[in-house]
Amino acid sequence: MPFPAQRLRRLRASPGLRRMVRETPLAPDDFIYPLFVVHGQGVRREIGSMPGVFNLSVDEAVAEAQEVYGLGIPAVILFGLPRHKDPVGLENFDEGGIVQQAIRAIKKAVPGLVVITDVCLCEYTDHGHCFILREGRFDNDATLEVLGKVVVSHAQAGADLVAPSGMVDGMVAAIRAALDAGGHAMTGVMSYAVKYASGFYGPFREAANSAPAFGDRHAYQMDPANAREALLEAGLDVQEGADVLMVKPGLPYLDVLRRVREAFDLPLAVYNVSGEYSMVKAAAANGWLDERRVVLETLTAFKRAGADLILTYHAKDAARWLNQG
């Protein structure tokens, strides 16, 4: 029997060879770490469904940001839990709001860290939806006005990027216009351009106290069965002035991530969401899988599918593992 003409195993024979020919590098530079910020002092409250993730007061968020930066992770994204909720979400655009406080404190303590802010209404409204309600209906254009106020307040506090996540029609154009009119032309927009109505968000809603008080979000988030629509959504955000696009969730939508990557040249982020994180943590806690191996494999899959940036609750652990070599 003739010998094989090619022996692909030759380049898999040692760790050094495998590292030399690795097609998809993964590094802490790829990560964005989410932080959930709450009022108070010295608050570090673990989220039951997300082991290792905490609701943090501003002082604790600063300490977390310092640790993140020390690990080589370039950015955090902030989610705020207000002191009070109301139909509009007034704290969302209050200069003394929890996110505005956290931006200022983190930028003062860690000026080199990129601070991104999630921009939505759901955490701040008493009804838990991402829109202003008018007579029981979602008022798209009234919501755009509020989002404009929110992003200007975040930019004034020092945010580097704002990240609208509500799937509100026209949100990128409205936000870009508000930022420019407010003198913040250099504040970028990272759009949750392709966000599906997913069952994988459950633990996040505990973390951010943002579950809707009635109904669901299928009327504005995307149908999980649709892929072509993702290109329409992303294309509109490109036209409206987005600086970075995002696909959310991650693992169930790697095909969509690849399609968006092939269609557009903007930097592309993916959100490795709470349900994906919690499944791995639960399985690892039961000894059913190797957490380090599975996490790094998952994050590599996002990069291989086309992501430039990965929002992930695994960021600190993954950075430590990668830094160990």
Please indicate, yes or no, if residue 3 is contained in any of the structural domains. Answer: no
- pLDDT of 214 reads 75
Q: Answer whether 0.75 is exceeded by the pTM.
A: yes
**17 pLDDT above the threshold of 80:** yes
Please indicate, yes or no, if residue 16 is contained in any of the structural domains. Answer: no
Please indicate, yes or no, if residue 40 is contained in any of the structural domains. Answer: yes
Q: What angle do CA 246, 247, 251 make, to 5 degrees?
A: 140
Token pair, residue 21, equals: 């020919």
pLDDT digits (tens, 9 = 90+) for 142-161: 999 999 999 999 999 999 99
Contact 305, 257 (CB under 8 A): yes
Would you list which residues are annotated within the binding site for Zn(2+)? 120, 122, 130
- pLDDT of 202 reads 87
Grade residue 177 by pLDDT with cuts at 50, 70 and 90.
very high
Please indicate, yes or no, if residue 192 is contained in any of the structural domains. Answer: yes
Please indicate, yes or no, if residue 76 is contained in any of the structural domains. Answer: yes
- Domains held by the chain: number: 1
**166 pLDDT above the threshold of 90:** yes
Q: How far apart are the first and last CA of the chain?
A: 41
Active site members: 195, 248
- pLDDT of 216 reads 76
Please indicate, yes or no, if residue 282 is contained in any of the structural domains. Answer: yes
In sequence order, what DSSP letters do the residues of 191-204 get, joined into one string? EEEEEB--GGGHHH
List the CATH number of the domain containing 289: 3.20.20.70
Q: Which residues contact residue 223 at a Cβ distance below 8 angstroms, ignoring those fewer than 6 apart?
A: 196, 197, 229
Q: Nearest CA to 306 among 280, 249, 248, 267?
A: 267
Is the pLDDT higher at 209 or at 89? 89
Would you list which residues are annotated within the binding site? 120, 122, 130, 205, 217, 233, 274, 313
Please indicate, yes or no, if residue 83 is contained in any of the structural domains. Answer: yes
Residue 7 burial (CB count, 10 A):
10
> Range of 73's domain?
24-324
- pLDDT of 208 reads 66
Would you list which residues are annotated within the binding site for Mg(2+)? 233
